[in-house]
Amino acid sequence: MANKRILVIGGSGYIGQDIVSRFVKSKFQVDILSRNPKNILGVRSIKGDVLNKYLLKSIIHDYEIIIYLAAIVRTIRKSRYKKNIRGLKNTITVLRNNGLKKIIYFSTQNIHIKNTGPYGNSKKECERLIKSSNLDYIIIRPNYVYKIDKKNDFYRLAKIMSNTMVCPLIGKGENKLQPVNSSDISNKVLDLVKSFKPHQIIDISGKTTTTLNEVADYIKSKTGKKAIKIHLPIRLLKLIKIIIPFDIDGYTDDRIAKDNPVKCNSDFWKDLNNILRL
């Protein structure tokens, strides 16, 4: 499928950048649609918003596959999460009207949490829209995504521990997660595009199952910082969740897929060690 045209909606985002880079290296023709497009060699960048249906009508033509990553993930203004639903509705409508069928939609493993907040609820509704769209879809649900950079929450936690000698953890810190390297996701998406099989739902996780307590202990062991763990009561945080820019509801539930997720090969502890060296 080399040289086929791919549109990556949200291609300037955290995960999108790696996906775009991987496809360019594999000789695909890649366009990105983003509210804040970045100049990437070999890529046509289009500035725009999925809330603008007229823009979508004008640009979504003759693409082999649409990869949809656009989403509001963290915001204090909870009503903004509804834009996740509106943007996807617009895209589905335009795909149908323009005769396009293939879409890879990025969801989240928060879907598995029973009681989610506004973000998780918006992704559940988006999955429902995709499944009932009559499009040839693949839904990807990644676990917590990180890179070896300074923008991930593990690096931020390490800096807080280093600067304040305090390690803040929400709840008991015992909920499980399986962090996945962004590069592993981009490789998996490339494989899915090369051998596209519709109506798949794929959970993508790292091979390591850990907890935030274990992550904090590892950071302490590697940095030598004797930061004190402060466990923030979930009941207290729920009282002020209106000013917290992410879902508190369901936060202490395990963030792991229930049904045989794709396990990627990156070594999380090795990657975390490299993050701490930045």
Its pTM surpasses 0.85: yes
pLDDT tens, residue by residue, 139-171: 999 999 999 999 999 999 999 999 999 999 999
Query: What tokens were used for 145?
Result: 């995504």
Is residue 252 predicted with pLDDT exceeding 70? yes
Per-residue pLDDT at 171: 97
pLDDT value at position 3? 64
Which pair of structure tokens corresponds to residue 261? 């997720």
Residues 6+ apart with CB under 8 A from 86: 50, 51
First to last CA, the chain: 38
Residue 75 tokens read as 């915001």
Weakest mean pLDDT among 53-57, 188-192, 254-258, 273-277: 254-258
Task: Give the pLDDT score at 2.
Answer: 53
Could you report the per-residue pLDDT of 205-219, keeping only the tens digit for each? 999 999 999 999 999
CA-to-CA distance for 260 and 267, rounded, in angstroms? 19
DSSP 255: B
- Look at residues 107, 23, 36, 35 and name the one whose alpha carbon lies nearest to residue 63: 23
pLDDT given at position 1: 46
Give me the phi and psi of 204, to 5 degrees please. -120, 120
Candidate from 16-20, 31-35, 200-204, 225-229 with smallest mean pLDDT: 225-229
Q: Which residues, listed in sequence order, are joined to residue 138 by a DSSP beta bridge?
A: 104, 200
Measured in residues, the chain has a length of 278
- Which residues are registered as beta bridge partners of 137? 103
Q: Which residues contact 153 (CB under 8 A, 6 or more apart)?
A: 144, 146
